Amino acid sequence: MSDTLPFTPLPNPMGTDGIEFVEFATSDPDALGQLLRAMGFRCTARHRSKQVLLYRQGDINFIVNAEPDSFAQHYAQQRGPSICAIALRVKDARAATLRARELGAWEVDMGSGVMELHIPAFQGVGGSLLYLVDRYGEHSIYDVDFLPLPAKEENEHASLDSIWQLTQSVPGERISDWQDFYQHLFGFVAGEEHPDHSGVLYSPCGKIRLLLQATQLEGALSEGLTAVTLSSIKLDHTLQHLQQQGLSLRQEQDGQQLVFQLQHATLLGFAIRQAEGN
């Protein structure tokens, strides 16, 4: 693909290569699990030693963390169901970690149990974590830390394929601080800026899109990852599936594209759009 790009590839000092997983913190894993199933996800594995489940669909990995007394539980207690971590795929986690440290990223020691992988973690927005993962694809981190669950579930996929965008909400005056942060650390570049001062950042690998959005909230909980937008390879099918599952959607126009916001009880945002190139 890359040799057909009409422009020079961007420098990619961290070797980013997309999003490996999004981790959700919740004290009610059943409710979130039910929602994810209705969205066409399958629970494919559980963590060897923790109350942590892996949900998959297409190239999307969602981790639902309900481990008692964990970082995630503390996070969920403060914020309700929320995104407490994201893992970025990088070509070489060790090199990326060294570089991140050198540039002032705040390393967080999450510890790791016996037989568990050590995944380097850094402080992200709103107390969330940024993991760097270089085991993905054929040999994944889930092979080591997770036990596969039998594929007994009959639920049908909903043609959701990949994570199109993550939304990070911060007070308006903090948007440029965070732009600097992602540019400096990961070589992200700024895309179009919207009239409401929200802005989009792209990773140099082109696979991560981050929307920085202004929030009216103030105080300690004002910053965080608040929404994830998923690409559907067959939007008609996805919408039909979600409606059959009793999920209601609110249609919005985002530039040329239609985006469908999932209407559900928590503040955690899920949205669907048509994959590009389809």
Partner 1 sequence: MDARRFAIDTAPLQGSLQDKLQAMSAAGFSQLTLWAQDLMSEPEGGLAQTVRTVRHSGMKVIGFEALRDFEGMSGRFLEYKIDLAKTMMRMMQQVGAELLVVSATTSPNAAGDLETTAAHLRLLSTLATPLGIRIGFEPLAWGRYVHDYHVAWQVVEMVNRQNVGLVLDSFHLFARGIPLDDLYRIPMHKLFLVQLSDAMSDYLPLLEEMVHISRHQRSFPGEGVHSMALVDMLVRLEMAGYQGNYAFEVANDEFLTQDAHSVASRAARSVDWLCRTVSQRLQDSGC
Binding site for partner 1 (CB under 8 A): 102-106, 123-125, 127, 174, 176-181, 184-185, 223
Query: In the complex with partner 1, which residue's Cβ is closer, 68 or 104?
Result: 104
CB of 180 vs partner 1, minimal distance in Å: 5
Give least dist CB 184 to partner 1, A. Answer: 6
Give the Cα-Cα-Cα angle 139, 141, 142 (nearest 5 degrees). Answer: 95
How crowded is residue 195: how many other Cβ atoms within 10 Å of its Cβ?
5
Closest CA to 153 of 55, 47, 29, 221: 55
Tell me how far apart the alpha carbons of residues 130 and 120 are, in angstroms, rounded to a whole number: 8
Tokens for 205? 């690998």
CA distance 116 to 49: 9
Cα separation values, 206 from 131, 199, 202, 209, Å = 18, 16, 6, 8
CB of 142 or CB of 181, closer to partner 1: 181
> Residue 153 or residue 180: which is nearer to partner 1 going by CB?
180
CB-wise, 145 or 223, nearer to partner 1?
223
Q: Least distance to partner 1 from the beta carbon of 121, Å?
A: 12
- Residue whose CB is less far from partner 1, 13 or 127: 127
Minimum Å gap between C-beta 183 and partner 1 is 9
* Least gap, CB of 130 to partner 1 (angstroms): 9
